[in-house]
Structure 1
Amino acid sequence: MHKTIGILAHVDAGKTTFSEQLLYHTKTIRQRGRVDHQDSFLDSHSIEKNRGITIFADQGIFSYNDSTYYIIDTPGHVDFSPEMERAIQVMDYAIILISAVDGVEGHTETVWQLLRKHQVPTFFFVNKTDYEGTDSASVLEEIRANLSGDVCNLTTLFDEELIEFIAERDEELLDKYMDTGFEQELWLNKMKTMIKENKIFACASGSALKDIGVFEFLDKLDVLTETSYNSLKNFEAKVYKIRHDESGNRVTFLKLLSGKLKVRDEVKYGQKTEKITQIRVYSGNKFQTVDQATAGELVAVTGLTTASIGDGIGDNQEKVTFDMVPTLKSKVLFDSSIHVKEVLRSFKLLDTEDPSLRVYWDEHFQEIHVHVMGVIQLEVLEQIVQERFHFQVSFGEPRILYKETINAPVRGYGHFEPLKHYAEVHLLIEPTTRNRGVSFDNVCHANDLSIGNQNLVKHHLLERHHHGLLTGSALTDVKITLLTGRGHNEHTHGGDFREATYRALRQGLEKAENVLLEPFYDYKIKVDMDLIGRVLSDIQQAHGTFESPENTGDKVIIKGRVPVATFMNYSTTFASFTHGKGTLSLLFGGYDRCHNTEEVINSIGYNKDADPEYTSTSIFCAKGTGYKVPWYEAEQAMHCL
C-alpha cells in the first residue's frame, strides 16, 4: 500500500526533526539529523541549512509493515506557503505538528484551512512536551477550540474516552455497543473510515527531539490509515513539483492517481503528447531510476518539456488552482554588465519551479518583476540566483499588487485597417463576482466571422493579463463576450485580430466606470479580554471590518477583513503589545475595492494614453491611406453595426 503523508506546521514547531525520527525508526537513515546542526536528511539544500528553516517541500521514503510511505516535509514560514500548498494537493494524509510551548499559532490556522479546502484527512502531533511547564491536554483543548471540536485523543487506543468520543458521532455504532459490547475490529474500521472522511481528527503528543512518542504515533498512524489506488485503470497523474537537476534537465514530479507508467510511454497533457525518457524515485536529494511506476507512487520523470505544476496528466486533465497567492511585487535589480536576457532566462526557469513568482518582463521600462509573499522570500531568491546562476541580484521595495475591474456592462469596438490589413472586433464586457478572474463567451455567428478568427479573438483575450486604465494593473473579474467581427479574405493577416481585439477591449474600458481593487486578508485574532479595545481600534485605523467579537473563557476572538497594504506588518506590533500571548491568523481573502483609490492612482502615475502595449484608437483606411479614429468616435465608424 502506498501512502503519501505530509508534515505541516508553523515554523519552529519541529517538523523536520519529527520527519528525521520517522526515517530513523524505519531504518531509512542511519543517524538522526538536526536542523540546528545543519545535517538533516530532508533540509539538504545549503540555503535551508544556513537559515535553519525548510524552504523546499522535499520527500523521503520509508517502509513500515506492509506499506510504503512517501513523507513530504513542507515549509512552515508563511513566505513559502505556496510551496506548501502545492505539496498538499498530493497528500493522502497530513500530520500537523503543534508546539506545546506555543500552542495554535496564526500560520497553523492557515495550514488547517488549506487542508480542509483540499479535504486531506489530518492527524495532530503535539510536539515539545518535554519542555518545562507544557501541558498537552490544554493544547488539545486549544486545538478543539480554534480548529475543530472533532479532534480525539489518541494517547491510548480505544480507552473509555476514545470509545465515547467515536460513539457520540455514530448512533448505529453506539446501539451496537450497547447490545453486544466492544468489538475492536469493528471500532477500528469505523475509526479509519471517519478519519478518511474528515469526520474526526486524531491527536497524539510527545517530543521529536527527545524521541518520545514518535514511534508509538507511527504505529497508530499505520493502523488508522489506508489507501486504495487502482493500477489496472487508465493512467492518471498530477504534477506537484518542477525542478531542474545539476545537468539542467527539467524534472517533473508526479503523483500517480491510477494505472501504470513506464519509461518510453507517451503521455498526454493539455494539447501535448510527449514520451517519458526516465522515471526517478527521490528520497532526499538522491534518486534511483526505475522502469515502471504504479498508482499511489510519487515519482519524478524527464521528457515532459512544458507540463506545469497543478496540471493533470493522462486521463486526468483537471488543472488545480491554488489559494496562496502573492500580494506583493518587486523589481529585480542587477548590474548592467549582466545581459538582461540572461537574467530573464534564469528567472523564467525559477518561474517554472515556483509559478507563484509570475515573472513579468516590462518591455517599455525594460524591467523584470516578480510576485512574492514577503521579504524573506526575496532574501532567499537572492541566494538561489547566486548559487545556481552565479550572478548577483537584489530587489526593489516590495509593492502591493493591485487589480482593476469595471462596475457595469459596456461594449467595446476595435478596428485595425492600415493599408492591406483588416480586422474588426465587437465585445461585451461585463463585471462578474469578485475573484473570478477573466472569462470568455462567444455569440458571434460563423457567417460574420470565421471560426478560426473567432478562436484568435479568444486566444488574444486570454493570452495574458490586460492592463486596466487607472493604474495599468491587471484587469480581472470580467466576462468578455465576442459579439461579432469581420475579417477580409485577402487583407487579413497574422496579428490583425490581436490589434483589433486589444483596441476593442481598451475602447470598452474607456467608456466604463473603472474600479481599483486591492488584496485583503481574512484575519482571526485571539487576545485577552482587556486588549479588545486596542485591537478594534487598530483594525479600524487599518480600514478593516470586523464581526461581533466572540468570548471564549478569558479570551476574545475577533474575525473580519482588512487590506493587506495596511496590515502586512501588523504582526510585529501585535506580538509586542500582546507579549507573544495573542494569536493572529492572516489568510489571503481575495481582492475588493481599494480603500484609498485616489492616493494609489496618484502614487503609481500610470498614463493610459502612453501605454506602449495598448491603445483605444482604431485605424481605418480611405483612399489607400490609414487614419486614426479616437475611441469616442470609433463606434460610429465601425463596418458591421
Structure 2
Amino acid sequence: MPPAPRTLNIGILAHVDAGKTSLTERLLFDTGTIRRLGSVDDGSTQTDTGAIERQRGITVHSAVAAFRVGDTQVNLIDTPGHSDFVAEVERALGVLDAAVLVLSAVEGVQAQTRVLMRTLREARLPTLVFANKIDRAGARTDALIAEIRRKLTPHAASMTHVRDAGTRAATTEPRTFTDPRFRSALGELLAEHDDTLLARVVDGPEPTPADLSGALADQTAKALVHPVYFGSAISGQGVDALIAAIVAMAPEPAQNPAPDPAAPPRGTVFAVERDPSSGHKMAYLRLFEGEVTNRQWLTFASPGTRTTHTGRLTALDVVGAGTDDSRTSLAPGNIGKLRGLPDIRVGDHLGRPPARTPRFAAPTLQSVVRPREPGTTQAARLHRALTDLAEQDPLIRARTEPGGAISVLLYGEVQKEVIAATLADAYGIAAVFEPSRTVCTERLTGTGEAVVGMDRGPAPTGHWATVGLRVTPAPYGSGTAFRYETELGALPRAFHQAIEETVHEALRAGCGPHGWAVTDCAVTLVRSGFNSIFSTAGDFRALTRIVLGRAVREAGTTVHEPYRAFELEVPPDTLATVAARLTAMGALIEESGAAGETWLLRGTVAARLVAAIEQRLPGLTHGEGVWWSRPADERPVTVREPVDAPASDTAPGTAPGKPNDGLA
C-alpha cells in the first residue's frame, strides 16, 4: 500500500495591503491549480469570495485553497489582515502546521505585522517571511532585513538575493551554500541555537553545506529561525523559492502514517459559511485523528460549555480533492467541508478537546443595532441575520435588549461597517448602528444572599417555586461557577437545570445594579422547593432571575473597564511630547528606553482611549510612531460620568458616555 500523501496546512498572514491574497493567487497559479490569476482589484480571487471582501479588497473570513507539488498537498488558509478580525486569525492558528508572514518591501514592518509575529511565536508555529512588492518604487532589501531583525525576530535568515529592487525589472535568485559569505552568516545565525554547530563555527572544521541545510530545516521546524524570501506576487519573482521552502516543511511519509480506522475522530471547526444558492451551512473541519466519512453521525462540543450537538453528514468535500478523486473520507491532517450539521458553530470540536484551547481576547466594544424601517417583522429578520453571523464569529454575541433593539460585540469600527454591509447585501436589511461603547463588567464587592419561596401557595412573585441563592466574589479571571448546598435530588433534574442555566444567562446579560455582565463570582443554591402539581421549569427560570438580582444588589458591585498593554516606538525628538500627552490622559508608562534609533515606551491604558491615541499619534510623531497593544486586565472605572444610565440611552454591557480623552 503506498504511503499516505504528505499534507501541510499553511496560514497566510499579513497586515492590510501587504499583498497576501495576491500571493495566494500566485501560489495557486504557479502550481497549476488555477489557469488564470485572479485580481483583488476586480474581485476575481479564489479566496476572497464574499461580496464585501470583493468590494473592499480585504479578507474578512478565513478561506481555504489547495495546491500540490509532487506527493505533497498544501492547504492554504488565507486569513484576515485587519486588526478588527484578529479573532478570525487566532482561530485559524489552531489548525495550522506552519505559516507564511507577508510584508511589503516598501512599507516594511507595520504594527499589525508585529502583532501577528508575536502571535505566531507564542504559538511556536514554523514561520517563513515573504517580503513582497520588490518591483515597487521604494522597495528595500538589506535595510528591510535589518528592520525585520530589529522589530520582528532577531533570527531572520535572508534566503534571496535581489537585483534592481524598486524597479519593474527586479529579479531574484536563491542564495546558495557555495557562497562563502552566505554560508558564514547563516552558520553564525544557526549556531545561536546549536552548541555543536557553534563549536565548529568557532574552532572548525567549518560546517558543510549539508550540515547547514539540515540545521536550517530543523530550526525552522522548531520556530527558532525564520527564513526570509523576497519576491513579487504580481510578477512571480521569488515565488518558486517560497514554494520549495513551503514543501520542504511537510512531514516525511514515515512521520505521516496511514490513519488508524479504529481511532475516534478528533478535529476542530475553524470556519463556517453558508452556500449562497441554498443558504445551507458549510463548516471547515481540520481533522487531527481518526477518519470521517460521508453519511456518518458526528457529535460536536462547543468550547467552554457543556453544549453538544449531533448530526449526520449529508455531504463531505475534501479540500484539494479533484472531481475525479475517489476519496470519500477525510484523513488526519486534511481539511474537509461538511454539510448537514445545522447547529455547528465556529470553534466546535469533534472528539476530545484540543490540548491547547485558544483563549480569544473578548471584544471591547458594543453597539446597539436597529432596523432602519420600524416593525416587528424587520426586527425579527435582523435578529435572525445577526444570529447567522454569530455562527461565523461567536464572539459578536447578538443579544436582544429592552425595547427590541439588538446589541452586538465588536473589535473595531471596520468590523461594524462590514457587518452593516453584510446585512444590506446578503440579507436585504438596512440597519442603523448606534455609536460604539466600551464593554465593561461588574465584580462583587461582598457576599449577598436572597430567598423567595412558597408557603402554601405560589411565591409572592406568583411563581410556584422556592429559590435561595448566595453570591460570593471569586479570584480575578476565574469566571463564574454554580454550586449546590441543597441535595441534588431535592428537585427534579429539569428544575435544577433551569436554575443553573438561568444563573449563567442572567450574569452574562447584566443582572447587577449597573446593567453590566457580572463575572468572577460563585453562585450557590442554598434553598429550593417545588409543588409537584403546579411547578414548571418556567417558574424556576423566572424566579431565579429575581432572586439572583436581589443577591447581587445586596453584595454590591464595582464597575471595571478593560485595559490594554501597549508598546510605542517614537522618534527621540517627540518623546517628551508623547509621554506628557499619554500621562495626561491616564496612561501609565511603566518602562522607557532607547531602542536603536527610536525610543520605546511600555505601559497600560484604558481600552476606550486606544482609538483616540491611534488617531493622534501620526501628528504627534511626524508619522513615524509605531503603536502595538494587546488586552491586559480590567480595572475599576474612574471616569466622572455616572455609570447608571437609562435603558433607553445606554445598552446594558456598555461603558458610560465618552470621557475627556486628554488629547484635545
Superposition TM-score tier, normalisation by shorter sequence: 0.7 to 0.9
2:368 to 312, 315, 331: 331
**Structure 2 residue 300 is the aligned partner of structure 1 residue 269:** yes
| Partner-residue secondary structure (3-state), 2:53 | helix
Instruction: Give the SS at the match of 1:548.
Output: strand
1:392 corresponds, among 430, 434, 441, to 430
Q: Aligned partners of 1:531, 1:288: CA distance in 2, in Å?
A: 62
Output the amino acid matched with 1:474.
Answer: A
Give the structure 1 partner of residue 516 of structure 2. Answer: 473
Name the residue aligned to 1:361: 400
Q: Distance in 2 between matches of 1:567 and 1:123?
A: 31
Residue by residue, what CA displacement relative to the aligned partner does 1:360-390 show, whole Å, maximum 9, x if unpaired?
Answer: 112x311112222222222222221222222
Residue 238 (str. 1) matches residue 268 (str. 2): yes
> Does 1:278 pair with 2:315?
yes
Distance 2:530 2:355 in 1: 34
Q: Which runs of 5+ in 2 are unaligned?
A: 1-5, 161-174, 178-182, 302-307, 653-664
Give, in whole Å, the separation in 1 of the partners of 2:51 and 2:220.
Answer: 37
| Most deviating of 69-78 and 420-429 | 420-429
Quote the residue 1:445 is aligned against.
Answer: 487
Q: Is residue 374 from structure 1 mapped to residue 412 from structure 2 by the alignment?
A: yes
**Contact 2:566-2:604 within 8 A present in 1 as well:** yes
Q: Which residue of 2 aligns with 1:637?
A: none
Q: 1:416 to 1:112 in 2, by over 3 A?
A: farther
Letter in 2 for 1:164: E
CA contact (8 A) 1:151 1:202 kept: yes
Matched, 1:11 2:52: no
Instruction: Tell me what 1:538 maps to.
Output: 581
Confirm or deny that 1:192 pairs with 2:217: yes
The match for 2:349 is: 312
Q: Provide the TM-score with structure 2 as the length reference.
A: 0.84
1:214 aligns with 2:214: no
| Worse-matched range after superposition: 91-100 or 196-205 | 196-205
- 2:389 is equivalent to residue 350 of structure 1: yes
Contact kept, 8 Å, 1:281 with 1:289, in 2: the verdict is no
Q: State whether structure 2 residue 115 is matched by structure 1 residue 110.
A: yes
What's the secondary structure of 1:164's corresponding residue?
helix
Opposite residue 239 of structure 1, the aligned amino acid is V
Q: Residues 324-347 of structure 1: CA distance to partner in whole angstroms, max 9, x if unpaired?
A: 432212222320255321221122
Say which SS state the counterpart of residue 601 (structure 1) adopts.
coil
- Partner of 1:625 in structure 2? none
Provide the C-alpha distance between the structure 2 equivalents of 1:418 and 1:44, rounded to a whole number of angstroms.
Answer: 64
* Map of 1:423 onto structure 2: 465
In 2, Cα distance between equivalents of 1:305 and 1:298: 19
How much has 1:190 moved relative to structure 2? 4.1
Please say if residues 20 and 102 of structure 2, whose CA atoms lie closer than 8 Å, have aligned partners that are also in contact: yes
Contact kept, 8 Å, 2:440 with 2:560, in 1: the verdict is yes
Moved more, 116-125 or 246-255: 116-125
Matching residue's letter, 1:605: P
Change (3 A) 1:447 1:293: closer
The Cα of 1:61 is off from its aligned counterpart by 0.7
CA contact (8 A) 2:72 2:250 kept: no
Matched-pair contact (CA < 8 Å) for 2:471–2:555: no
Q: Pick closer, same or farther for the CA change 1:383–1:133 going to 2, 3 Å.
A: closer
Say if 2:15 and 2:82, in contact at 8 Å, map to a contact too.
yes
**Offset of 1:290 from its aligned partner?**
5.6
Runs of 5+ in structure 1 lacking a partner? Answer: 612-641
Native 8 Å contact 1:28 1:62 kept in 2: yes
Instruction: Using the TM superposition, name which of 133-142 and 328-337 deviates more.
Output: 133-142
Q: TM-score scaled to structure 1, two decimals?
A: 0.86
Indicate the larger mover: 480-489 or 37-46. Answer: 480-489
2:432 pairs with 1:407: no
1:63 matched residue in structure 2: 68
Matched letter for residue 459 of structure 1:
E
Displacement, 1:249? Answer: 0.8
Quote the residue 2:25 is aligned against: 20
Q: One-letter code of the match for 2:369?
A: V
The residue type equivalent to 2:635 in the other structure is D
Provide the secondary structure at the position in 2 that maps to 1:166: helix
CA deviations over 1:80-110 (Å, ceiling 9, x no partner): 2222222222111111112222222221222
Distance 2:580 2:511 in 1: 34
CA distance in 2, matches of 1:42, 1:403: 38
Alignment partner, residue 529 of structure 1: 572
Q: What is the rounded CA distance, in whole Å, between the counterparts of 1:574 and 1:181 in structure 2?
A: 49
Counterpart Cα distance in 2 of 1:184 and 1:311: 46
* Residue 605 in structure 1 maps to residue 646 in structure 2: yes
Alpha-carbon contact 1:414-1:502 (below 8 Å) kept? no
- Is the alpha carbon distance of 1:563 and 1:62 closer, same or farther for their aligned partners in structure 2, counting shifts above 3 Å? same
Please name the residue that 1:74 is paired with: 79
Deviates more, 1:259-268 or 1:531-540: 531-540
Alpha carbons of 1:129 and 1:374: their partners in 2 closer, same or farther (altered >3 Å)?
same
Asked if residue 249 in structure 1 is aligned to residue 280 in structure 2, the reply is: yes
The CA distance in 2 between the partners of 1:288 and 1:467, in whole Å, is 53
Structure 1 SS opposite 2:641: helix
Pairing of 1:78-227 with structure 2 (within 5 A): 78-155=83-160, 156=175, 159-175=183-199, 182=207, 187-226=212-251
Find 1:576's aligned residue among 613, 619, 622.
Answer: 619
Tell me, in whole angstroms, the C-alpha distance in 1 between the residues paired with 2:488 and 2:45: 63
Distance apart, 1:138 and its partner CA: 2.6
**For residue 294 of structure 2, what is the amino acid of its counterpart?**
V
Instruction: Give, in whole Å, the separation in 2 of the partners of 1:595 and 1:108.
Output: 33
The root-mean-square deviation of aligned C-alpha atoms, in Å, is 3.0
Query: Pairwise mapping of residues 18-57 of structure 1 onto structure 2 (< 5 A)?
Result: 18-57=23-62
Measure how far apart 1:499 and its partner are: 3.4
- Equivalent residue number for residue 461 of structure 1: 503
- Residues 53-79 of structure 1: CA distance to partner in whole angstroms, max 9, x if unpaired? 222221211001321011111111122
Q: What amino acid sits opposite 1:202 in the alignment?
A: P
